[in-house]
Amino acid sequence: MSLATARRELAAVFRKEVRQTLRDRRIMFLLIVAPLVQTVIFGSAVDFDVDKVPTVVVDVDRSDVSRLHARRLLADGTLRRVGERASVAEAEGDLDAGRAAAVVVLPRGLAGDLSAGRPAQVQVLVDGTDPNRAGVAGGAASRYLGEEGERLMRERLEAAGRGAPAQAVLTPRVAYNPRLKTAPYLVPGIAAMLLVIVTTLVTAMGLSREREMGTMEQLLVTPIKPIWLLVGKLLPFLVIGFFDVLLLVTVGTWVFEVPLRGNLLVLAVGVLLYVFSTLGVGLFISTVSQNQQQAFLGGFLFMMPATLLSGVMTPIRAMPDWLQLVTYLNPVRHFAEVMRGVLLRGAGVGDLWFQLAALAVLGLGILGLAASRFRTQLG
Amino acid sequence: MRHGPLVRSLVRIGAMASKETIHIRRDPRTLALALAMPLVMLFLFGYGISTDLDHLPIAFADQDQSEASRALARAFDGSGEFRVVTRRAPGEVEPLFRDGSVVAALVVPRGYQDDLVGGRRTPVQLMVDGADAVVANQVLTKADAVLRAESRRLAGAAFARLEPPLSAALWTRYNPAARSALFMVPGISAFLLAITAVMLTALAIAGEWERGSMEQLFASPVGRLEIVLGKLLPYLVLGLLELQLVLAFGAMAFDLPVLGPGWLILLLGLVFLVGMLGQGLLISVVTKNQMVATQAAALSAMLPSIILSGMIFPIENMPLPLQLLSRLIPARYLVHGLRGVLLKGNGFDVLWPDVLAMALFAVAIVALATRRFQRRLA
């Protein structure tokens, strides 16, 4: 077969697919508007920096000193005062009902103990249901009280004329994202996740639908070669994938102040290789599913682990070692690293060669495997 | 023998339900996937997902080259939280951030040891890769703690022996071992129920529209409402089974406690499921197309139940409009309710608002869905 016929066949299938997709406004809406809405909601809803933990204060001491410490403990905003109770038992009721997640108890005699030089303790009761939030709330309380304790100790030593001991202090300097906002970090990762939904799920279901309705067989009796049929079918999604990334990066920079530090060409190479693998997975799922329900569930069964083990939501370094090894097989992981590297750190090919190579291997491997299955199934 | 209209109606609903059950049973692969999903998810969340980091790789820039600065490097290395993987000048750190080989660099300035000996306050600089805000936050907290401990050690034995005049006594209730699995299991249950219920009903009913078999059903003497109820019933049972499966697995694998009454769990699950099935029905009536139905369900049920339910991210940290929006998401109440029953041992007296909120949602959405369903045909 000459190259010209191949090109003509490919162009014909491509035109048909584009027309079919464009005709269904609802699908277009879902491929373009839905990712946008999701990015905006995700980007504004998710804040890894836990603060405003609802806190009830039980001030049994009722002295100036206890009021001062309660106020300063809550001053940095990590803990937010939602009420005051006269007794610990009442405050525990708030924890039970979920009205509060932390209770600060300033015990009777706090002021007296402090002025008399006796060791005093402030009790902090946290709701451990959410370990992360409990850690943050407990950490904030012990940091403040620890600093305060140390300060008092130094004062006393100095007052006793023994001279203050040396002290090393930390002066942090945060690069790339000085205010440690979640959105600039999360939005590039979300883009990686949404591409899976848009490409893998849609391909898997679309091809299963053709199988259900029997239209695939109709296309096969035309003189078009299966391989060009396949390429023509997948090509529009590649275009949509590129378009979505462009859209999400634009929204990210506008709404969420995602910086654009690196070379967009590197990003484009990443998108291309990544979409190869997500389309490949979709194609593969369609070859093992009998209907759309199965294709959806299969796509979902891929999507959940792939996104959870991508490092988008939780750091990969926090996973057990054997699971960290498994994540090397996950295209979402590599693409999320490329997105973040290029956008946030200004990384180039030199820094990201490993991720790009991994994406290329995975993309071509998965797509090749799926395409050969697709061909034998039709042949 | 003649039966009343109610009995006859129940018989017709039963017939629809058994037809749908046959559909489900004919397709064992779908059923297996629907039941395997919870186990995969639980496994991943329980074992794989954690935000607690240790042995974070850092670079060490020693401009002091003294006994004290080497001791500081040892303190960081020995803390278990950090690992000094390379020694560099401060100017050479940035490439290491870009390729991700270190998360922070510790810079000890010239004169560190002299300052310490002289009893002065001496700064130690920490450069942090802030691109990953989660990691950066932990790096800051942990480095602060390591340096504080080192500072106390350097201050000498006299200082270390003193009891601090003011300190915190921390008590953690409900989940004292801080295990994320206990926190995640109730959330995952809500998420999985939302998916199974909304997605599978939406797909099953949209499939009938696509194939044109819905019109055939309408031609039968079965009423519209009966069709709906009959079709939803098997999925309700499937959903409740899934809930039991998740909780049983959670109890076995992660020692998930069940402190509250079991009937309350079932009640919460049941009310939630009815709402989700109604939502699936509404989606299928509006879209009549499985692919569109999937995306609509993903957008309206799956994502909100992850993001806005408080399953992973605390609701009070969200901006106000989203906090208000989360009040419309039934998953929020289920997550709160399940955590209350399982981990805190709450009873109906505490959790009735959750049940009420989900019941309101269920009534509203089922009414809306059946109305649209009936209008479609007229």
Compute the distance between CA of residue A285 and CA of residue A83 in angstroms, rounded to an integer: 54
**Mean pLDDT over residues A260-269, rounded?**
89
Tokens describing residue B93: 């750190």
Which residues 179-218 on chain A approach chain B with CB closer than 8 angstroms?
Answer: 180-182, 184-185, 197, 201-202, 205-206, 209
| Ordered structural domains, chain A, with CATH | 3-46+181-378 (no CATH), 53-159 (3.40.1710.10)
CB-based contact A209 B308, cutoff 8 Å: no
pLDDT at B158: 56
Set of chain B residues whose Cβ sits within 8 Å of the Cβ of A293:
27, 30, 200, 203-204, 207, 290
Which range, A244-248, A300-304, A314-318, has the best average confidence (pLDDT)? Answer: A244-248
CB-based contact A294 B339, cutoff 8 Å: no
Say which range, A10-14, A373-377, B176-180, has the weakest mean pLDDT: B176-180
The CATH class that applies to domain B56-157 reads: alpha beta
pLDDT at A357: 95
pLDDT at A299: 86
Distance from CA of A103 to the nearest CA of B (A): 10
Task: Give residue-wise pLDDT tens across range A13-42.
Answer: 888 878 877 777 777 777 778 788 888 887
Is A205 a residue whose pLDDT tops 60?
yes
Strand partners, A123: A105, B169
Set of chain B residues whose Cβ sits within 8 Å of the Cβ of A47:
313, 317-318
Residue of B nearest to A32 (CA): B295
**Is A327 in contact with A316 (CB distance < 8 Å)?**
yes
**Mean pLDDT over residues A347-354, rounded?**
86
What is the percent of chain A with per-residue pLDDT over 90, rounded to a whole number? 14
pLDDT at A297: 82
DSSP secondary structure string for all residues of A229-244: HHHHHHHHHHHHHHHH
CB-based contact B292 A26, cutoff 8 Å: yes
According to DSSP, the β-strands at A120-127 and A102-106 are: antiparallel
Compute the distance between CA of residue B17 and CA of residue B84 in angstroms, rounded to an integer: 64
Distance from CA of A336 to the nearest CA of B (A): 12
Token pair 């009536």 is found at: B285
- Of the pLDDT bands very low, low, confident and very high (cuts 50, 70, 90), residue A52 is confident
Distance from CA of B6 to the nearest CA of A (A): 34
pLDDT at A328: 93
Q: Is the dihedral of CA B302, B303, B309, B314 positive or negative?
A: positive
Task: Spell out the per-residue pLDDT of chain B, length 378, in tens.
Answer: 567 888 888 888 888 888 888 888 887 877 777 777 777 777 777 766 666 777 889 999 888 888 888 888 898 888 888 988 888 888 888 888 877 788 889 888 888 888 887 777 788 888 888 777 778 878 888 888 888 788 777 766 555 556 666 677 777 777 776 677 777 788 888 888 888 788 878 888 888 887 787 778 777 777 777 888 888 888 888 888 888 888 888 888 777 888 888 899 889 999 999 999 989 889 888 888 777 887 788 778 877 887 788 877 778 778 888 888 888 889 999 988 988 888 888 888 888 889 999 999 999 998 898 888 776 554
CB-based contact B291 A27, cutoff 8 Å: yes
What was the ipTM of the complex prediction? 0.73
Set of chain A residues whose Cβ sits within 8 Å of the Cβ of B173:
92, 95, 125-128
pLDDT at B178: 67
**Is B322 in contact with B308 (CB distance < 8 Å)?**
yes
Task: Give residue-wise pLDDT tens across range A234-264.
Answer: 888 888 888 888 888 898 888 888 888 888 8
Phi, psi of A57 (to 5 degrees): -105, 130
The three-state DSSP-derived secondary structure of A166-183 is CEEEEEEEEECCCCCCCH
- What is residue A99's three-state secondary structure? coil
pLDDT at B358: 93
Tokens describing residue A40: 């905006």
CA nearest neighbour of B301 among B271, B324, B277, B317: B277
- Backbone Cα Rg of chain B: 29
**Mean pLDDT over residues A103-128, rounded?**
85
Compute the distance between CA of residue B88 and CA of residue B111 in angstroms, rounded to an integer: 18
Q: Which amino acid is at B40?
A: V
CA nearest neighbour of B339 among B241, B279, B283, B264: B264
Q: Side by side, which strands form the sheet with A167-175?
A: A167-175, B121-129, B104-108, B56-62, B82-87
Distance from CA of B162 to the nearest CA of A (A): 8
- CA-angle at B198, arms to B192 and B201, nearest 5°: 120
Set of chain A residues whose Cβ sits within 8 Å of the Cβ of B192:
none
Compute the distance between CA of residue A357 and CA of residue A273 in angstroms, rounded to an integer: 9
Q: Where are the domains of chain B?
A: 5-49+177-377, 56-157
pLDDT at B308: 83
